[in-house]
Amino acid sequence: MNRKVLIVDDEVNILILMEQALEKLEEEHKVTLLKAKNGLEALKIIKKENPDLIFLDVMMPEMNGLEVCKIVKQDLQMHKTYIIMLTAKGQELDKQTGLAVGADCYMTKPFRPKEVLAKSTEVLNLI
Amino acid sequence: MVKKVLKKVLNQPEVYSIVENLSISLQESFQIIDINNVVVFPGVEQEFCDSHPIYVTDILLGWVMGSAKVAVVAQIISYIASLELQKKDLANETLAKYEEVNFIYEISNQIASCQTISEITLVLIEQIKKNLTVNDVKVVLLNKTTGKLEEMSLDSDGLTLISTIEPSTEIAANVFHSGQAEIINNANFDERYVSKTTTVHSLICTPLIIHNHTIGVIKIYSEENEEFTSQHLKLFTSLSSQAAAAIQTSHYYEKLKS
């Protein structure tokens, strides 16, 4: 079965960089990469595509990452979907709140491409 | 990577829709197949008389199968695929720059909080090894008392002095005296390379310069068949400048303390 990874960030640059960092998964493991520019768009894709892994930025317009995470984990009860919160350096409070609303892990931005790829490979069990 | 571009382009809903609309506008049925003869745009199954190649630069990606009228479809897809490849190249380049900036940012932060030369050397070696695909990093510093160059490395016991380098017999000594960074790919063919191990393939030596005065050298080794490039040289030269400034500050700090 094809695995799906959703990247959610309002910064287009980050979306492109994350997609590039995860290119190997797409090419070697046929993982489908999905992208969303805000929380609302992300929720639509999550309901339709049921991704295995979500990289979720915290600070976004319309609906922030924490709200999306809460809806996915608590309202939609999608416990199998692994959520990695992306927080800017220094947002310690966000990390705690993110974990409290059900996020599985967090990563700080600027992110390390190798770390992102390694974590995704591990979560998707592609080792 | 290039050969998968056709599938990726047609996987985009907007492009797929354009191709469907072209079929309607031209009132022509066609099929698009990739280089492995896999159908990526089905159209209507029938026998097609012509095949129109889809190229990006000189690389064949697939064909549009249909009458002479659908040659324009192959042209359009070739163009979209070339844009997709350009975007990919740009993204790759940006990602490499992003990694580089992050690396320098991280190492600068850590070096700024170091007070001794040992701490700076330790951070340099650890960070370079952690972030880049290199096998070994050594820092060579001038011992002002003995006038000799001392080579330090990181092992299980921490930072240790490996050896002293005789002036003018080694690449590091040459770089120290010339103040010019050097890339040596295929190190074993360089007569200045004093082989302590036979596995080193390439190395970069960058001088630690402060106020036009060289105080040491950073040596970075690769055992793989990978060659260092001018990009590596730029990165390590910038890193060496920061490290040299930090080492100088720690000298001042030591002086103040005593």
What proportion of chain B, given as a percentage, has pLDDT over 70? 88
Indicate yes or no: CB of A16 within 8 angstroms of CB of B92.
no
- A35-68: pLDDT as tens digits: 999 999 999 999 999 999 999 999 898 899 999 9
Q: Report yes or no: B163 and B139 within 8 Å, Cβ to Cβ.
A: no
SS3 per residue for B180-204: CCEEEECHHHCCCCCCCCCCCCEEE
Instruction: Quote the CA–CA distance of B95 and A116 in Å, as a whole number.
Output: 13
In this prediction, residue B86 has a pLDDT band, given cuts at 50, 70 and 90, of very high
Instruction: Quote the CA–CA distance of A6 and A69 in Å, as a whole number.
Output: 13
Establish how many alpha carbons lie within 13 A of residue A17's alpha carbon, considering only the half-sphere containing its beta carbon.
20
Phi, psi angles (nearest 5°) of residue B63: -140, 150
CA distance A74 to chain B (A): 32
Contacts of B95 in chain A (CB under 8 A): 17, 20-21, 113
Instruction: Quote the CA–CA distance of A6 and A9 in Å, as a whole number.
Output: 10
CB interface of B with A, residues 90-129, below 8 Å = 91-92, 94-95, 98-99, 101-102, 105
Bridge partners (DSSP) of residue A53 are A5, A82
Sign, CA torsion B156/B157/B158/B159: negative
Nearest by CB to A110, from B4, B91, B102: name it. B102
Instruction: Quote the CA–CA distance of A65 and B147 in Å, as a whole number.
Output: 58
Q: What integer is the mean pLDDT of B214-220?
A: 89
- B186-216: pLDDT as tens digits: 777 776 666 555 577 788 899 999 888 898 9
In this prediction, residue B52 has a pLDDT band, given cuts at 50, 70 and 90, of very high
Q: What integer is the mean pLDDT of B135-150?
A: 83
- Does the complex come out with an ipTM higher than 0.90? no
Lowest mean pLDDT among B79-93, B102-116, B221-235: B221-235
Indicate yes or no: CB of A20 within 8 angstroms of CB of B1.
no
Indicate yes or no: CB of A113 within 8 angstroms of CB of B101.
no
Tell me which DSSP letter residue B134 carries: -
Instruction: Quote the CA–CA distance of B98 and A111 in Å, as a whole number.
Output: 9
Mutate which of A16, A19, A107 to disrupt the B interface (most B C-beta within 10 Å)? A16
Mutate which of A12, A17, A29 to disrupt the B interface (most B C-beta within 10 Å)? A17
Indicate yes or no: CB of A112 within 8 angstroms of CB of B91.
no
Q: What's the length of chain A?
A: 127
Q: According to the model, what pLDDT value does residue B168 have? A: 52
